[in-house]
Chains A and B, each alone.
Chain A
Amino acid sequence: AQTVTQSQPEMSVQEAETVTLSCTYDTSESDYYLFWYKQPPSRQMILVIRQEAYKQQNATENRFSVNFQKAAKSFSLKISDSQLGDAAMYFCAYRSALSQFYFGTGTSLTVIP
């Protein structure tokens, strides 16, 4: 089974600064998808960004970007110009070819005004 590891249980960032959340995964598949989900205190899971494994170009969504290193099985999330609304739990997720999703343990991000 695939495993997803988030080694940073908690992170903090100053407002307007940049922060990087790390994620590594283990798989024997060649075709898969990776995601970052955000879960604010409301507990609604919100998709932040996605990356297809067959694409070499790193995905970008406004202030959010990823550093996808397929050989290293690493998928980090960079948040630029951090805002107070970015404070949330962030989960890295892996989707297998069989539609199973595997989540990391999460990183709790605090944004300091």
Chain B
Amino acid sequence: DTEVTQTPKHLVMGMTNKKSLKCEQHMGHRAMYWYKQKAKKPPELMFVYSYEKLSINESVPSRFSPECPNSSLLNLHLHALQPEDSALYLCASSLKPQSKRGGFVGQFFGPGTRLTVL
């Protein structure tokens, strides 16, 4: 199994809603990432989890709340979002850097969740 899955594929929510995005991988990767991507722009890093612990938070507003319940799952809880938060949200996973040389150290990306905030 060499893929990252994300659900839902599309999400439309109002500014007062609470919703969650889900990401799953079964490749044994211990680093997982959330990115936000606007059209024709590069992915912007939001959060990095390393061994289920939050290791990087790129000054993301508190209306985005990540959670890593176990080594295969990554959630992003959304609450009181703004219209400017509408974007493609990408999840990715990778091996840890301590992996021996020669191992794949790139990121596998999920297909993303297209979020629209009304």
Q: Pick the contact of B101 from A42, A52, A91, A95 — CB < 8 Å?
A: A52
Give the number of residue pairs across the A-B interface with Cβ within 8 Å: 62
Query: B115 on the interface (CB 8 Å rule)?
Result: no
Q: Which of B11-19, B59-67, B69-77, B103-111 contacts A (4 or more CB under 8 A)?
A: B103-111
- Evaluate contact between B106 and A35: CB separation under 8 angstroms: yes
- Evaluate contact between A43 and B112: CB separation under 8 angstroms: yes
Q: Pick the contact of B105 from A95, A100, A106, A108 — CB < 8 Å?
A: A95
Query: A62 on the interface (CB 8 Å rule)?
Result: no
Question: What is the interface of chain B mostly: helix, strand, loop, or mixed?
Answer: strand
Residues of B within 8 A of A (CB): 31, 33, 37, 40-43, 45, 48, 50, 55-56, 88, 90, 92, 94, 96-97, 101, 104-109, 111-112
- Show 24 A/B contacts (Cβ-Cβ < 8 Å), sorted by A: A33-B106, A42-B111, A43-B37, A43-B111, A44-B112, A45-B92, A47-B107, A50-B105, A89-B40, A93-B107, A95-B94, A95-B105, A95-B106, A99-B94, A99-B96, A100-B45, A100-B56, A101-B45, A101-B92, A101-B94, A101-B107, A103-B43, A104-B42, A105-B42
